[in-house]
């Protein structure tokens, strides 16, 4: 059985090149922001499995992080194609699979396809960092055999060991809902900050950033829906409606956008339990934008 040694290395996130493959924009943004917050400087993204294969060949990342469920080429098929590569350097690339499925049979199926590690949804900063540490500092040797190409699946390194596959029954780390929501709020805060920067660009006469502005407002709306912060979601929806109804970037008023951002800032500081106060923030915003004729 051909075995290729994978040498342990000290984890320096700033030096890693990571490719993220996910067909859902929200999770692409979430993983990208988590990686950048961890200090990873080189993060590339692909919008589906097919795009991921092209990006993988051109980027040649140190680590591939891919979602499992994607149309056409899913994470498992993407893994198989990487492991079948004729490029010996690329085929041994550590692959981390993102999944909401922690059933033993599915984990076994994924490991038999050549996956190194798993990140269980909801994704958290800790789970991403732990899995990167695992594949960089404690890599398993690579088996390159006609029947299987991927990391060694056995619990022990001895070739004579005939015991169960490695980590099939190891519990996957499940982050609490509170930690997941906190991670998502951090990403949403960053998106709101980007909107503020785009508003400043509008004030400076930039009219070429409307698409980016709409896209970022959409990110805030999607994340707010995901964590069920319906007040922030409503404000983002109002802002998106205002932007789409504007006849052009020259008619968009930065002060109106800033008013929406001020409302979001107040909502961020107001606990969800204070629903009456949050209702007043949203209704107050609706009254203001109605008075200035932009509703």
- Look at 282 and 122; give whichever has higher pLDDT: 282
DSSP per residue, 13-49: GGG-EEEEE-S-HHHHHHHHHHHHHHT--EEEEESSH
Give domain status of residue 189, yes or no. yes
Give domain status of residue 218, yes or no. yes
- H helices of 162-229, in order, are 177-203, 210-226
Q: Give the span between the Cα atoms of 261 and 239, in whole angstroms.
A: 9
Helix 230-245 to helix 275-291 angle (10° resolution) is: 10
Give domain status of residue 257, yes or no. yes
The reply to whether 89 and 204 lie within a common domain is: no
Q: Map residue 67 onto helix, strand or coil.
A: strand
Residue 47: CATH number of its domain: 3.40.50.2300
DSSP per residue, 215-250: HHHHHHHHHHHHTT-HHHHHHHHHHHHHHHHSSSGG
**Last residue in a domain, options 133, 151, 169:** 151
The reply to whether 7 and 145 lie within a common domain is: yes
The reply to whether 147 and 182 lie within a common domain is: no
Q: Map residue 165 onto helix, strand or coil.
A: strand
The reply to whether 94 and 197 lie within a common domain is: no
- Per residue in 123-160, pLDDT tens? 888 889 999 999 999 999 899 888 899 998 764 444 55
Give domain status of residue 28, yes or no. yes
pLDDT of 31 > 80? The answer is yes
Domain range enclosing 62? 3-151
Give domain status of residue 162, yes or no. no
The reply to whether 185 and 272 lie within a common domain is: yes
Give domain status of residue 168, yes or no. no
The reply to whether 26 and 144 lie within a common domain is: yes
Could you give phi then psi for residue 236, rounded to 5 degrees?
A: -65, -35
Element holding 150 (H helix, E strand): strand 148-151
Q: What's the domain count of the chain? A: 2
Give domain status of residue 22, yes or no. yes
**Last residue in a domain, options 103, 135, 151:** 151
The reply to whether 192 and 132 lie within a common domain is: no
Looking up tokens 């695992």 gives 134
When pLDDT is averaged across residues 195-209 and rounded to a whole number, the result is 87
The reply to whether 44 and 129 lie within a common domain is: yes
Give domain status of residue 171, yes or no. no
pLDDT of 165 > 60? The answer is no
Please give the pLDDT value at position 1: 54
The reply to whether 185 and 260 lie within a common domain is: yes
The reply to whether 94 and 130 lie within a common domain is: yes
Dig out the tokens for 186 from the structure. Answer: 């951090």
The reply to whether 8 and 137 lie within a common domain is: yes
258-279 CB burial, b ≥16 within 10 A, e <16: bbbbebbebbeeeeeeeeeebe
- Per residue in 207-240, pLDDT tens? 788 888 998 998 899 888 878 899 999 999 999 9
When pLDDT is averaged across residues 62-91 and rounded to a whole number, the result is 94
**Last residue in a domain, options 136, 151, 166:** 151
């Amino acid at each position: 059985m051909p075995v290729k040694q994978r040498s342990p290395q000290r984890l320096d996130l700033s030096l890693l090149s990571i490719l993220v493959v996910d067909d859902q924009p929200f999770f692409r943004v979430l993983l990208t922001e988590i990686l950048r917050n961890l200090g990873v400087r080189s993060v590339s993204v692909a919008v589906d499995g097919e795009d991921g294969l092209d990006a993988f060949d051109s980027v040649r990342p140190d680590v591939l992080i891919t979602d499992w469920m994607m149309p056409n080429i899913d994470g498992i098929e993407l893994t198989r194609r990487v492991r079948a590569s004729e490029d010996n350097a690329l085929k041994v690339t550590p692959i981390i699979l993102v999944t909401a499925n922690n059933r033993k049979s599915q984990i076994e199926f994924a490991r038999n396809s050549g996956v190194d590690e798993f990140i269980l949804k909801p994704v958290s900063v800790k789970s991403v960092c732990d899995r990167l540490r695992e594949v960089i500092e404690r890599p398993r040797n690579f088996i390159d055999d006609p029947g299987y190409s991927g990391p060694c699946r056995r619990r022990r390194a001895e070739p004579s060991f005939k015991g169960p596959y490695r980590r099939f029954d190891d519990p996957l780390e499940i982050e609490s809902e509170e930690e997941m929501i906190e991670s998502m709020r951090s990403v949403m805060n960053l998106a709101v900050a980007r909107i503020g920067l785009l508003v400043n660009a509008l004030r400076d006469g930039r009219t070429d950033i409307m698409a980016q502005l709409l896209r970022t407002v959409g990110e805030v709306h999607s994340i707010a829906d995901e964590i069920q912060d319906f007040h922030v979601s409503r404000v983002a929806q109002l802002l998106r409606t205002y932007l789409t109804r504007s006849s052009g970037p020259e008619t968009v008023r930065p002060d109106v956008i800033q008013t929406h951002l001020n409302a979001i800032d107040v909502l961020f500081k107001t606990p969800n339990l204070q629903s009456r106060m949050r209702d007043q923030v949203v209704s107050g915003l609706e009254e203001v934008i109605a008075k200035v004729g932009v509703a």
